[in-house]
């Protein structure tokens, strides 16, 4: 699923990494628990989360996750943005809940990790 | 190549700094992406553990042609029962740590999973030392 389509489905806007808006994502993983995100071994993944802090960006950097959508209207701060840009991440912000965002993406064909 | 980093207990904004630096270096050395991911996830989990539980820590990294050895030595409360701490889901993390998205009791088991060799020693009221080796 293309990032631009994900934006459209989740009424999301791209905060950084706009050049990756044509990238195709295969799977999604919804979690506010970074401990669980760090146990994944999946490529080409979209992280859907309401955990909006610097460690979410760090976790993504370590786990080679390049695409994150922050739900529940959470806003990325300047430190997060700088780290995301440094690591060439593509960050989206959506006003929807984690449940709603995940449901919409699943229904539209984004695969689960397990 | 030997490198050294310091970790400040309680300072979450710096957690992951060492793992990030090592990731960049390993990329430059042309190490395979999946191997790098295993190494930096283990290192990051260990850094978060020191930040979450200890007063301060040191990371000693030795990169050789065929492997990377990392030692994380902290001064802190230590772990009274290592076997228990190695069980998934067991955690003594504070509310603050949990609010950061950690403290689910996955850290030590995940470090073990992501390393080829893993050793842990701990003395209560003194500190904990982890040694991790990954082969390229």
Residues forming beta bridges with residue B129, ordered by sequence position:
B73, B121
**A34 → closest Cβ in B40, B102, B113:** B102
Please tell me the total count of domains within chain B: 1
User: Which residues of chain A make contact with B90, given a CB cutoff of 8 A?
Assistant: none
pLDDT at B105 over 90: no
pLDDT digits (tens, 9 = 90+) for A83-95: 999 999 999 999 9
Q: Read off the CATH number of the domain in which B78 is found.
A: 3.30.565.10
Backbone angles phi, psi at A110, to 5 degrees: -70, 130
d(CA B123, CA B116): 24
Q: How confident is residue B4, by pLDDT bands cut at 50, 70 and 90?
A: very high
Q: Which residue of B has its CA nearest to A65?
A: B37
| Alpha-carbon separation of residue A91 from A10, A78, B8, B29 (angstroms) | 13, 13, 29, 28
Asked if A36 and A62 count as a contact pair (C-beta separation under 8 A), the reply is no
Backbone angles phi, psi at A4, to 5 degrees: -60, -35
Mean pLDDT of B24-38: 96
Domains of chain A are 3-112 (3.40.1390.20)
Residue B107 domain boundaries:
2-135
Mean pLDDT of A27-42: 95
Report CB contact under 8 Å: A59, B101: yes
* Residue B3, both tokens: 């490198």
């Amino acid at each position: 699923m293309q990032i631009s389509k994900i934006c459209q489905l989740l009424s999301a806007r791209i905060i950084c990494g706009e050049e990756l808006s044509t990238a195709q994502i295969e799977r999604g993983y919804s979690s506010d628990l970074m401990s669980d995100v760090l146990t994944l071994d999946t490529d080409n993944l979209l992280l859907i989360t309401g955990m909006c802090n610097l460690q979410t960006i760090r976790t993504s950097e370590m786990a080679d996750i390049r695409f994150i959508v922050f739900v529940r209207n959470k806003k990325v701060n300047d430190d997060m943005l700088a780290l995301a840009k440094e690591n060439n991440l593509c960050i989206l912000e959506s006003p929807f809940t984690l449940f709603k965002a995940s449901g919409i993406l699943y229904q539209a064909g984004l695969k689960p990790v397990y | 190549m030997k490198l050294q980093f310091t970790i400040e207990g309680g300072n979450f904004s710096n957690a992951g700094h060492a793992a990030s630096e090592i990731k960049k270096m390993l990329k430059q050395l042309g190490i395979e992406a999946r191997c790098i991911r295993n190494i930096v996830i283990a290192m990051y989990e260990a850094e978060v553990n020191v930040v979450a539980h200890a007063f301060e820590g040191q990371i000693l990294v030795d990169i050789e042609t065929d492997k990377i050895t990392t030692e994380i030595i902290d001064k802190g409360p230590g772990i009274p029962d290592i076997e228990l701490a190695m069980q998934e889901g067991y955690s003594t993390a504070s509310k603050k740590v949990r609010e950061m998205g950690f403290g689910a009791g996955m850290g030590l088991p995940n470090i073990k999973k992501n390393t080829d060799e893993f050793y842990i020693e701990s003395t209560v009221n003194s500190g904990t030392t982890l040694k991790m080796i990954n082969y390229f």
